[in-house]
Amino acid sequence: MDPAKDVSEYHEPLDEVEKKVKLLAQWIRESHNMVAFTGAGVSTAAGIPDFRGPDGVWTKAAQGITIDRNFNFDVDPTLTHMSLVGLQEKGILKALVSTNTDGMHIRSGIKLSTFQEVHGNKNVEACASCGKCYYRASPVKRFQCNDRTRLTERRCDECKNPLRWTNVAFGQSMPDMGIKNAFSLAEKSDLSLVLGTTMQVEPAASLADAGKRNNNFKLILVNLQKTGSDSKCHLRIFATCDQVMSLLMKELNQEIPKYVPKDRSQDPLWLLEFNTYYKFRRPGTGWFEGPTDPSIAYDPLQVPIDKRPDIKAINKSPSGRYFARVLADSSPPYEKEEVKLKRGELLEILKSVKGNENQIAWCFVVVVG
């Protein structure tokens, strides 16, 4: 069966896994530039579903079953996340690249100088106009626009343009700065440890063996499902990521650090590290459909409320009223103030908020009766 269509999971006997982990530990000791690549499988132990497993999001969708995507991300990083932190702290792990958007690696305390996310982060929003990224303590909310500008509810502190989700969806271009940095890290590897991914999505799938021209390069893949890359692996382990990393840390005689919860969005030193090393996209309008600032491309006196991409428009309520929310700046929104007015009065309210000289964009709800 085509590995891409086979969602079956395989578990090797413990003694076989232990034997393979011993070999892996030996290779790690001999390596000079170990790089790890992680996918959704490293987070399933925390209760976050994967995509292509038996109960994965895409697997269920193919069966006509819709999974609630409002996952609980307020969970501790897994043993695998913390093991990678430990290996990085000891200088054993030289770099880490992840396709995950759940933000668990950053929460675990991984250093950003040699870390790259290639599909974005649920806690990060960015400005397409100037490129500045913002890390938030909670998942970023997304505006419900009809187009795919993927706006959030805030504006950039620097240039005042709308901020956008960084999660990369199918059909969108890859973050150019992020993927360039990821390949730069991957090409230096002489040992590539792939954890919890079937490596089906390009260009991320090509990262794992980007260092194959280096002397004594080794590719190790840990995943419960078969993949299209199994044949080119130097070592293939069918086991959970946590099982392998637990055995590996013991074999390397390394302790697994304890997870310490921390709100990094309020840590000035960490934010300096984030602003220095976190790479996403260059500024420009090529990020998504729509202009850099959709609100400046539309005349508010000519465009109906449900066609304005800078306004969050929800369907009519049973009482027949429209609800809309104006974009807020990147600071936490103020108390929501409900304003009742006639439809014709709405545009003047929006126009006055857009033209505020101090760039204070209140987050209030407009009720149109």
Matching residue, tokens 């006997």: 13
Q: What was the pLDDT predicted at 163?
A: 86
Q: Which of 261, 277, 303 is at the close of a domain?
A: 261
Measured CA to CA, the distance from residue 117 to residue 189 in angstroms comes to: 17
For residue 312, tell me if it sits in a domain.
yes
Mean pLDDT over 156-178 rounds to: 83
Q: Which residues are catalytic?
A: 119
Q: Do both 117 and 243 map to the same domain?
A: yes
For residue 215, the domain's CATH number is 3.40.50.1220
Q: What was the pLDDT predicted at 337?
A: 38
For residue 158, tell me if it sits in a domain.
no
> Which amino acid makes up residue 44?
T
For residue 202, tell me if it sits in a domain.
yes
Mean pLDDT over 154-164 rounds to: 85
For residue 75, tell me if it sits in a domain.
yes
> Mean pLDDT in the chain?
77
Check pLDDT > 90 for residue 187: yes
Q: Do both 105 and 233 map to the same domain?
A: yes
Check pLDDT > 80 for residue 237: yes
Q: Do both 67 and 198 map to the same domain?
A: yes
Mean pLDDT over 51-75 rounds to: 57
Mean pLDDT over 68-91 rounds to: 87
Q: Do both 180 and 44 map to the same domain?
A: yes
pLDDT digits (tens, 9 = 90+) for 170-180: 667 788 899 99
Check pLDDT > 90 for residue 85: yes
Residue 75 belongs to what domain range? 14-121+167-261
Q: Do both 305 and 257 map to the same domain?
A: no
Q: Do both 100 and 200 map to the same domain?
A: yes
| Sign of the dihedral defined by the CA atoms of residues 257, 107, 270, 133, in that order | positive
Mean pLDDT over 291-299 rounds to: 44
Q: Which of 245, 261, 277 is at the close of a domain?
A: 261
Q: Do both 174 and 251 map to the same domain?
A: yes
For residue 44, tell me if it sits in a domain.
yes
Q: Do both 56 and 196 map to the same domain?
A: yes
Q: How many independent structural domains does the chain possess?
A: 2
pTM: 0.74
Q: What was the pLDDT predicted at 336?
A: 38
CB neighbours (10 Å) of residue 172?
15
For residue 343, tell me if it sits in a domain.
yes
pLDDT digits (tens, 9 = 90+) for 344-367: 444 444 444 444 333 333 333 344
Q: What was the pLDDT predicted at 220?
A: 97
Q: What was the pLDDT predicted at 64?
A: 63
| Sign of the dihedral defined by the CA atoms of residues 309, 315, 320, 321, in that order | negative
For residue 132, tell me if it sits in a domain.
no
Q: What was the pLDDT predicted at 161?
A: 81
Q: Do both 63 and 186 map to the same domain?
A: yes
Q: Do both 176 and 229 map to the same domain?
A: yes
Higher pLDDT residue, 147 or 322?
Answer: 147
Question: Residues, the chain, total?
Answer: 369
Q: Which of 213, 236, 261 is at the close of a domain?
A: 261
Query: Could you give the C-alpha distances from 205 to 22, 97, 194, 247, 329, in angstroms and in order?
Result: 26, 11, 10, 26, 36
Candidate from 38-47, 94-103, 212-221, 327-336 with smallest mean pLDDT: 327-336
Q: Do both 300 and 237 map to the same domain?
A: no
Task: State which H helix or E strand residue 353 sits in.
Answer: helix 343-354
Q: Do both 58 and 205 map to the same domain?
A: yes
Beta bridge partners of 98: 38, 117
For residue 127, tell me if it sits in a domain.
no
Q: What was the pLDDT predicted at 129?
A: 83
Mean pLDDT over 99-120 rounds to: 95
Q: What was the pLDDT predicted at 58?
A: 42
